[in-house]
Amino acid sequence: MKTLIIVTHPDITSSVVNKRWVEELEKFPEKYVIHQLHRVYPTGEIDVFAEQRLIEQYDKIIFQFPFYWFSCPGFLKKWMDEVLTHGWAYGSKSGYKMSGKRIGLAMSVGVDEHEYQENEKYKYTIQELLRPFELSFAYVKAAYQPFFAFYGLEYNATAERVAQSVPAYLAYLESIDAVDMNCPV
């Protein structure tokens, strides 16, 4: 089954890494469905019902975005607030429509990985900063997967470095495909 890639980038045309990832994913339409939120909803008004129906069609969903302000772009947070509703994503009468779906995060990160450590500049690891995502997806009974982050792009976004990110991202997506859902993650 195909993987749904939900891309949230406020300016994908000026992006270096996320745009490159989308270009690569487009080469594999048999594997990936790319859903760019800013393109689908340029006014910011989300069709909640359409998004929920889309989510229901896929067992593997990756949220791809640039990691900034120690989180995701605001439009992805808005999407989560509006789409993951009581009665659909959670609640005793919801049917938990995301239950068991493999959910992953794929992020481009500006600074180097070592800066996200307890005794470094940003004091927390990326994993710690992503806890709200982990908890949110656990709350809707989805199968939250390890995240993918490609670091150090703020000061080192050379063509060679960007090219290095592509096979790493594709390998991450393949690892999500390989997860045995009968075994705990």
Which pLDDT band, with edges at 50, 70 and 90, does 181 fall under? low
- Residue 6: pLDDT over 90: yes
The string of pLDDT tens digits covering residues 117-164 is 888 888 999 999 999 999 999 999 999 999 999 998 777 778 888 899
Mean pLDDT value across the chain: 92
- Residue 22: pLDDT over 60: yes
- Residue 183: pLDDT over 50: no
The string of pLDDT tens digits covering residues 58-99 is 999 999 999 999 999 999 999 999 999 999 999 988 779 999
SS (H, E, C) the chain: CCEEEEECCCCHHHCCHHHHHHHHHCCCCCCEEEEEHHHHCCCCCCCHHHHHHHHHCCCEEEEEEEEECCECCHHHHHHHHHHCCECCCECCCCCCCCCCCEEEEEEEECCCHHHCCCCCCCCCCHHHHCHHHHHHHHHCCCEECCCEEECCCCCCCCHHHHHHHHHHHHHHHHHHHHCCCCCCC
